[in-house]
Chain A
């Protein structure tokens, strides 16, 4: 098979890439041996592919690598941060929801007396001792205690009844029955009102 210059030019790129069949390749080889122009075209085509295919032709702007690394790092950190946070948040949130739901059911189902964090169970209180309770709080007092809330609703019951109903002794008038009673602080102490107020506030959700 004989090929002319136009046919050679048309196939010269495929020839360089090894994309021509053996017969055509042989014909082109023969043509290159006798045609100086086509041999020149072949040499130039190869040279172009070799030069541009060189790694050194792939240049990037100054600072390109640093900026790329920074952006990837930022993305990776954000990605990890989210994944890590999600990995913690999801089970924690589930537990919190479950616990909250249990507490709500518990709260709605059982009528626990509201107690202050300051409230303590009494010790060695004579069960038949008469104490005063009121609707204002879940604390029982001795009669006449100045810290009785809602005096209009006060009533007298035994200490045993009061404690069975969930009342706790007053940290002022019954402090001798408290294991860790607020000793040294009488009803006139500056903190008394504050603590009493706190007790009231803290007891509020129970009502």
Chain B
């Protein structure tokens, strides 16, 4: 297998500093726990939001997950990645809430479709890359978030854990309690659907202020 093309950016600088913090908290310096989890708070919230789709519920679940991590920090073992452990606790908390509260809207028609069926991407002649600098604009980030929110649950959850939380395929499968094959299939579908949504967004003027050449569509 070759190396992944996408450089997975790990937002947290794990290493000695993190290990020291974990040990300190485990030995009773509880006040250091926030310092330990602070680099991951946005990832924790995003994971909860992907599952619960409600900001208030996601924040509460994220806080609860942090508290559970704090309560169980003694059980954390160094062989695991702390960020993965934290995200898995969050996913468990969010899934448990969703089952308990049943407040999440019913899934759409697409979700009931057989995920094994083929998904044909739209026939765009070309694709002009949306530069990452565009993310500086809040409007662009909102558009991307809106596109993500339109995906059906099972695609959205896999996509968020894999492409936004940077869990690997196996970790994503374990966190969601699905097979590796399902993760791959759903991830493929999610990426292709988002590609199509963003391309369609161009037609709707989502990214009209980006510095592309006049008169040329990005595909």
Contacts and interface: CB of A to CB of B under 8 A. Distances in A.
User: Is chain B a partner of chain A in the same complex?
Assistant: yes
B154 to A, nearest CB: 15
Nearest to B31: A76
Interface in B48-82: 55, 59, 62-63, 66-67, 70
Interface of B is mostly: helix
Nearest to A44: B195
A190 B49 CA distance: 78
Contacts of B16: none
A21 interface: yes
Interface stretch (B39-47, B96-104, B105-113): B39-47
Nearest to B40: A58
B42 A48 contact: no
Contacts of B192: 9, 12-13, 41, 45
Interface residue tally of chain B, by bracket? 35 or more
Contact of A53 (B6, B30, B37, B126): B6
Nearest to B10: A55
A67 B1 CA distance: 44
Interface of A: 6, 9-10, 12-22, 25, 36-37, 40-41, 43-61, 64-65, 67-69, 71-73, 75-76, 79-80, 83
13 contacts: A13-B184, A17-B169, A40-B219, A44-B124, A44-B219, A49-B6, A50-B6, A52-B148, A58-B11, A58-B46, A60-B42, A76-B30, A76-B31
Interface of B: 1-6, 8-9, 11, 28, 30-31, 33-34, 37-38, 41-43, 45-46, 55, 59, 62-63, 66-67, 70, 118-121, 123-127, 129-130, 132, 135-136, 141, 144-145, 148, 159, 163-164, 166, 169, 184, 187-188, 191-192, 194-196, 198-199, 219
